[in-house]
Amino acid sequence: MALTIVAYITGWCPDCTRSRRILQRSGLPYIEIDIEKTPSAEAAMREINGGSGKVPTVLIESDASRSVLVEPGDRELSDALQSAARAGV
């Protein structure tokens, strides 16, 4: 089962820094996209999260499910990553 994790972030956002640490600690592979440095990334993020400009936006997608977390708290992101890891086992 394929698992894709994409984090849309900015360099100045403290919530992005916090979410990055949680993603790194999870040990799961993920893609980080800075919406201010990557052309059309903000538009792609807004398409995924219903038009919101809020960061971080984290997409967790597998063959069986899709979750979009907008400005997730530590617990919400950790729980979603743990669920994704279990589903992939």
Distance CA 56, CA 53 (A): 9
The pLDDT, as a whole number, for residue 88 is 67
Mean pLDDT per block of 10 residues along the chain (89 residues) reads: 92 97 96 97 97 97 92 97 83
The pLDDT, as a whole number, for residue 87 is 80
The pLDDT, as a whole number, for residue 59 is 98
The pLDDT, as a whole number, for residue 2 is 87
63 neighbors 4 (Cβ within 8 angstroms) = no
Could you state, in order of their start, the residue ranges of all structural domains in the chain? 11-66+77-88
The pLDDT, as a whole number, for residue 53 is 96
Distance CA 49, CA 70 (A): 7
pTM: 0.94
